[in-house]
Amino acid sequence: MADVQIKRNQFGKGVFSTRSFQKGEWVLGVVGPLVKQRSIYTIQIAPDLHVMPRSPAKYLNHSCDPNLGVKMNRSGLPEFYALRPIEAGEHLTFDYAMTEYVLEEMETGRERTKCGCGAANCRGWIGSYSELPPEMKRRYAGFIADYLREGIE
Ligand SMILES: C[S@@+](CC[C@H](N)C(=O)[O-])C[C@H]1O[C@@H](n2cnc3c(N)ncnc32)[C@H](O)[C@@H]1O
Ligand SMILES: [Zn+2]
């Protein structure tokens, strides 16, 4: 927990770096129970399996221009790596489309969440891998959940 801290921002809680990271450096891992049911907190690791992260990973917010990417470890759990150099104090984010084939709102019919990431390339709504434009799939290659790379379509 020393390299990151939880702080409040416009999205509620978020995870922030407490030191700088080099591009490609490991930033944080995910631990927590495996569950069959997705929620706004779960991270998808297989077509029908999700991990319910404990803090701090639980509080990672989404960005359409994220500074973190995902790689699965040997246990099949997500680990987050710096996609670019990160300074101390930065808001740490990943693109939820890197792990979620669809979103909880898409399954329940609940209203979709407007994305407030503010990136120049913001897609407008928090989205899923199934909706990700092909150029973004290419840009995220190597930083998405393994089950998406293996293809579930
Ligand atoms: C895994 S939680 C992240 C932690 C959350 N901020 C909290 O305080 O519990 C995911 C939720 O955070 C909010 N969120 C995360 N990223 C967002 C974004 N880019 N724009 C708007 N809301 C966001 C949404 O409500 C989303 O369902
Ligand atoms: Zn966005």
Please give the chain's pLDDT, 153 residues, in tens: 579 999 999 999 999 999 999 999 999 999 999 999 999 999 999 999 999 999 999 999 999 999 999 999 999 999 999 999 999 999 999 999 999 998 888 888 888 899 999 999 999 999 899 999 999 999 999 999 999 987 644
For the Cβ of 39 lying below 6 angstroms from any atom of ligand 1, the answer is no
> What is the residue extent of each domain of the chain?
4-150
When computed from its CA atoms, the radius of gyration of the chain, rounded to whole angstroms, is: 14
Position in ligand 1 atom list of the atom nearest CA 62 = 16
- The model's pTM is 0.95
For the Cβ of 116 lying below 6 angstroms from any atom of ligand 1, the answer is yes
CA of 61 to the centre of ligand 2 (A): 10
CATH class of segment(s) 4-150: mainly beta
For the Cβ of 96 lying below 6 angstroms from any atom of ligand 1, the answer is no
